[in-house]
């Protein structure tokens, strides 16, 4: 499903993002918690190390970190912003598709001097139930990629 939307104009390296409502953000964070509960040997929810500490994040735990996650994210897979957009680590193929369909943009520091993995993307905030379903598929794909599952 392609996302049809005009991106907001901005000055600088980041875009303003849609304000998310509390119920949506709660559902997004619940999805992260559900994933961690279903795979406690591999996943945990902890405060983000890349954003404000009050932003919950899904982390890879319990195994040596892949090299592409170790330096910049230290194992953080995805976090949700207060405005309901989110950053996550996707495979190159998934990130390319997400950007081509208008769901994501590459973080300006993605792949720069190894600080953030390539591709580290920002997924736009879901605007309705159907888009929330797409967002959960991106999160599931990020987990599959970082835990080396086939998807």
Query: Which domains are present in the chain?
Result: 22-146 (3.90.1150)
Q: What pLDDT is stored for residue 23 in this prediction?
A: 92
Sign of CA pseudo-dihedral 33, 65, 136, 86 = positive
Residue 29 CA: distances (Å) to CA of 46, 60, 80, 141 = 11, 16, 7, 16
Other beta carbons within 10 angstroms of residue 78's beta carbon come to 26
CA 124 to chain centre: 10
pTM: 0.85
Residue ranges of alpha helices (H) inside 39-128 are 67-70, 92-100
Per-residue pLDDT of the chain (151 residues; tens, 9 = 90+): 776 655 543 334 444 445 568 899 999 999 999 999 999 999 999 999 998 888 999 999 987 888 877 778 899 999 999 999 999 999 999 999 999 999 999 887 777 777 788 789 999 999 999 999 999 999 999 999 999 864 4
DSSP 49: S
């Amino acid at each position: 499903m392609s996302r049809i939307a005009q991106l907001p104009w901005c000055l600088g390296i980041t875009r303003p993002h849609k304000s998310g409502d509390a119920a949506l953000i709660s559902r997004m964070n619940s999805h992260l918690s559900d994933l961690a509960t279903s795979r406690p040997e591999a996943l945990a929810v902890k405060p983000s190390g890349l954003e404000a500490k009050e932003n919950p994040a899904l982390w890879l735990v319990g195994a040596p970190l892949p090299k592409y996650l170790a330096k910049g994210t230290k194992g953080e897979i995805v976090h949700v912003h207060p405005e309901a957009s989110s950053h996550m680590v996707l495979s190159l193929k998934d990130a390319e598709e997400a950007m081509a369909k208008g769901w994501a943009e590459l973080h300006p520091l993605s792949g720069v001097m190894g600080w953030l993995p390539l591709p580290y993307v920002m997924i736009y905030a879901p605007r309705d139930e159907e888009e929330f379903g797409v967002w959960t598929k991106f999160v599931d794909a990020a987990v599959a990629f970082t835990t080396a599952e086939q998807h």
